[in-house]
Amino acid sequence: MTKQTISSIAIIIIVAVAIFFGIRALNNAPATSPLDSGRMMGKLPAGSTPPPQLADVVGQTWVWERNIIGGDGMVPVAKPGEFSITFGTDGKVSGATDCNGFGGEYTMGSDGVISFGQFVSTLKYCEGSQETDFTTSLAQATRMTTDADGNLVLILGETSNVMVFSKKQ
């Protein structure tokens, strides 16, 4: 073998080792918080109302108050105080319904964009529960804001449907 061939093989081995350890480091990297800039998405369009500060939402437990459908129709919660959601600083979300507990992951942007991953849940059956309405609505959330009373408002998709939550006292 020539010196040039040996040098080429050495370079290939060094690059392969660097790639291997780089991939391992990425796979073992700690989860970042939604408050870290790496998890933020987009920026506000001109003329938008700013969303709530992430620190005001994350780490808090929010209680489902109602859904507003089409801008004026209201779906009340049959069992007030039974439905809640908590946004962890680690990108994990947990909550409770009138029947089961649930959890999953979320991403939240400084521009008000929000999305949820697949939820996992305990599997107790409860007759007449609004659990499916609650979790299905959450999964459709695409943006967040607050109203004049300080309630968290999740906007569901590209509709005028929203979920309204109050901060748990």
How do residues 108-129 score in pLDDT, each as one tens digit? 988 889 999 999 999 999 999 9
Overall number of domains in the chain: 2
Let me know whether 115 and 154 are in one domain: yes
What 8-state DSSP symbol labels residue 109? Answer: -
Please tell me whether residues 83 and 15 are part of one structural domain: no
DSSP code per residue over 107-127: EE-TTSBEEE---EE-----T
Most confident of 11-20, 49-58, 119-128: 119-128
- Residue 114 CA to residue 155 CA, distance in Å, equals 9
Domain that holds residue 67: 37-167
